[in-house]
Amino acid sequence: MSLIRTISEKTAHVGVIGLGYVGLPLAVTAAERGFAVTGLDIDQAKIERLSAGRSYIDAVPDDRLQNVTAAGRFGGTTDFTRLSGCDVIVICVPTPLNAQREPDLTFVTTTAERIARHISAQTLVILESTTFPGTTHDTLRPLLVQSGLALDRDIFTAFSPEREDPGNTRFNTATIPKIVAGDGETAGALAEAFYKGVVDEVVRVRTTQTAEAIKITENVFRAVNIAMVNELKLVFDAMDIDIWEVIDGAATKPFGYMPFYPGPGLGGHCIPIDPYYLAWKARSYDVPTRFIEL
């Protein structure tokens, strides 16, 4: 297949949609690793800053941005017609909650509709946005059919959850292991080949639903553990016990424990939201998620 060769040889043109704290580091890293990358965003102010060589994301210093721009491997735009020239399209848009604390996939669906209007044959479309299991297969794929192109022949779909940790200086986009899955063997092989060209380690799993579940599991795990340690801090404060000393002491155990630290709320804008995505989806299977909801 020509697409797998194009990706493997890094002659594929990559489009990254959504230039926030996930999309911009991915786009710049892919450009640094040799791909030609077009970053797309609906925010004209972001594009103007990037064109001026000024980053708004801490993980991407100005010099990194300027280097790939000067090399001609990265540029930003609000013009979605540029998608027609992309061989790989990566979706990095927000997945918030609505007023009823239910999943709001508006950014994903409107992005998919834009892609369908401009996509060319032999293109890999990857969703990175955190979501509930089944989104790639049941929501993204039917919208891409509007292009008139055939799934699994002209368009291939995959899911690879973002694992960015803003402020963490120990890990970056290239060094964090990347979970990858495709809808079908060909799509999986294409996605694996692409990310192997961008990051140091790729972990391929069997289905996009599994990959989506992995990301939700990671964030539910963090949510319940942070909530627990926040509660323990209140308990130990009342007992005049230093929670930080307790955590440091417990962390000396080499198995069966890992430290979480108290703070305001659950931290960030993902952890308080993502568990609701799983709880909402579980209701369609008549499975209660009382522990998560608590």
Active site residues: 270
Token pair 């799993």 is at which residue?
Answer: 205
DSSP states along 105-169:
-HHHHHHHHHHHHH--SSEEEEE-S---TTHIIIIIHHHHGGGSPPBTTTEEEEE------TT-S
Residue 121 CB-half CA count within 13 A: 7
Residue 238 CB-half CA count within 13 A: 5
List % helix, strand, coil for the chain (3-state, nearest 5): 45, 15, 40
Cα 93 off chain centre by:
8
Q: Please, are residues 174 and 154 in contact by the beta-carbon 8 Å criterion?
A: no
Q: In which element (H, E) is residue 249 found? A: helix 243-250
CA distance 132 to 213: 7
